[in-house]
Amino acid sequence: MKTTALVCLLFSFTVGIIMTASAQDIDRTIKPTAQSVPKVSLPQIQKATLPNGLQILLVEDHELPVIAFNLVMQTGSAADPKGKSGLASMTAELLDEGTKTRDALAIAEQMDFIGASISVGSSYDATFMSMSTLSKHLETALELFADVLVNPTFPQKEFDRIQEQRLTALLQQKDRVPTIASLAFNKIVYSADHPYGNDASGSDQSIKALTVEDIRSFYNTYYRPNTSTLIVVGDTKLGALKNQLNELLDGWKSQTLPGIEMPKTPVVEERRLYLIDKPAAAQSEIRIGMPATARNTPDYFPLVFANRVLGGQFTSRLNLNLREKHGYTYGARSGIQFNKYPGPFVASSGVFTAKTDSSLLEFISEIDHLRADGITGEELDFVKKGLTGSFALSFETPSQIAGRLQDVVLYGLPERYYEMYLENVNNVSLEDVKRVCSKYFDSSRMAIVVAGDMAQTKTGIAKLNLGEIVMCDIEGNKLTQ
């Protein structure tokens, strides 16, 4: 025992000396040399279509005995009828709460028993149903998946429970200043007449008005195979999978879906400041932006570059300015929500109340600087290295691959999109970025939303003379003055 302990001690001491010597040999004043970008071998996509119209995309991956499923149904909250916002998301949430032969507890227990998981959710543009399972349990897992999809019963007691949970969550939102600012911003720039201007979770009034029959009607109308695609990635074969699905989904019938008429995307004609008073708020929440563009825009890659430089990474201009240089915030950021239809560009941050007006000036200054001058060659190279270096990491697991293919299906991207991804990234030029900066980042045509304690901030904001001031309630509705 003593000999073993002595050997271990000597080994640890020797390793410590080696590690110390190695650390001393490193010159930390020299920037590490970038390594070569890992090569990505994109998998072959196999296709099939079931008699009911369901399209199947399969990527075989036999490295691990796991399979990821991702069903994409091309209808989401944009299909919520007027006055019934939250219907699509409630339908998705209730889908796995009971079938003709299983209640919610039985579904959960049987999934847990085989080590599988299932989830259902929705966005503005689509509804998603995903599952992961071990390949040895594929038959059982697929039967459960099909049962939830084809035979939901939407029990009244589960509807009542989830409705009450949703109402509680909506009530809690009214005390969260970041949520207030974000939802009000969407409503202000899109209006309540546009789906993107409404909270996909619904409102107090709309959720209270929903019934189980509304849920069943939405399901029967929009959950159809002929507008859906099942993405499968993992340890299985197309022939066997297709036969199983044919049998399990035989009762899931196709039908024509009603068209969804999206209103014309609004345009912010001139800059205004929309102020929301939240007395005693810990800080001010700032949102600045406007409707921008859709996911399938040819400007996508240059816009990604522009946004990364402005506020899409930790070393962005906004974060380095407001956080690192001035200390106004713990973080400032920007993003473009690329949807089927033009989603918003928004720059945002929670800032110290006393620095609200100063923060607004820095936001506008950085946006204007980007529009006028674009980005530098060094920034262009930095973003290229980041995008190309992280690309391979997003294809490591079956679930990641399924998620990538989901974008291709949902937004109608070219089938070879990811084969061309690195080429498209490397082809972005300074001129491309300059062009989109001029087109999309005009602060004089952006809405500015500030939620916080107006007793401390309104006077300072008004002195900036950035535009007309409009007072709003916590839902973004204009207050009469």
pLDDT digits (tens, 9 = 90+) for 255-313: 998 888 899 999 999 999 999 999 999 999 999 999 999 999 999 999 999 999 999 99
Distance CA 24, CA 432 (A): 44
235 has a pLDDT exceeding 90: yes
Contact 377, 332 (CB under 8 A): no
- The mean predicted confidence, pLDDT, of the chain is 92
Does residue 164 sit in the same domain as residue 216? yes
What is the Cα gyration radius of the chain?
26
Is the CA virtual torsion 178, 179, 182, 187 positive or negative?
negative
Does residue 337 sit in the same domain as residue 198? no
> Do the domain assignments include residue 397?
yes
pLDDT digits (tens, 9 = 90+) for 465-475: 999 999 999 99
Does residue 241 sit in the same domain as residue 290? no
Average pLDDT over residues 40-53: 87
Q: What is the pLDDT of residue 213?
A: 97
> Do the domain assignments include residue 314?
yes
Full domain range(s) for residue 230: 46-248
pTM recorded for the entire structure:
0.88
3-state helix, strand, coil in the chain (%, to 5): 50, 20, 35
Does residue 197 sit in the same domain as residue 290? no
Does residue 108 sit in the same domain as residue 223? yes
Does residue 311 sit in the same domain as residue 186? no
> Do the domain assignments include residue 152?
yes
If 0-12 CB within 10 Å is exposed, 13-18 middle and 19+ buried, where does residue 57 land? Answer: buried
Q: What is the pLDDT of residue 35?
A: 59
Going by pLDDT thresholds of 50, 70 and 90, the confidence category of residue 15 is very low
Residue 93's nearest CA partner among 127, 128, 120 is 120
> Do the domain assignments include residue 195?
yes
Does residue 418 sit in the same domain as residue 344? yes
Reading across the β-sheet that carries 66-73, which strands appear in turn?
A: 46-49, 55-60, 228-234, 66-73, 127-134, 117-122
Does residue 345 sit in the same domain as residue 459? yes
Does residue 192 sit in the same domain as residue 284? no
The three-class DSSP label of residue 275 is strand
367 has a pLDDT exceeding 90: yes
Q: Please spell the DSSP secondary structure of 206-236, one letter per residue.
A: HHHH--HHHHHHHHHHH--GGGEEEEEEES-
Does residue 315 sit in the same domain as residue 354? yes
Going by pLDDT thresholds of 50, 70 and 90, the confidence category of residue 41 is low
- What domain count does the chain have? 2
Half-sphere CA count of 100, side-chain side, radius 13 A: 5
Q: What is the pLDDT of residue 481?
A: 59
If 0-12 CB within 10 Å is exposed, 13-18 middle and 19+ buried, where does residue 230 land? Answer: buried
Residue 316's nearest CA partner among 370, 276, 279 is 370
231 has a pLDDT exceeding 50: yes
> Do the domain assignments include residue 379?
yes
β-strand 272-277 against 284-293: which pairing, if any? Answer: unpaired
Distance CA 66, CA 396 (A): 13
Angle formed at CA 22 by CA 18 and CA 28, multiple of 5 degrees: 155
Q: Which residues contact 479 (CB under 8 A, 6 or more apart)?
A: 471, 472, 473
DSSP one-letter code for 117? E
Reading across the β-sheet that carries 447-452, which strands appear in turn?
A: 329-336, 343-351, 284-293, 447-452, 272-277, 468-472
Does residue 342 sit in the same domain as residue 424? yes
Residue 284: CB atoms within 10 A of its CB come to: 31
Q: What is the pLDDT of residue 24?
A: 56
Q: Which residues contact 117 (CB under 8 A, 6 or more apart)?
A: 111, 131, 132, 133
Which tokens sit at 289?
A: 């932006």
Q: What is the pLDDT of residue 394?
A: 87
Does residue 294 sit in the same domain as residue 216? no
CATH no. for residue 408? 3.30.830.10
Q: What is the pLDDT of residue 260?
A: 85
Q: What is the pLDDT of residue 34?
A: 56
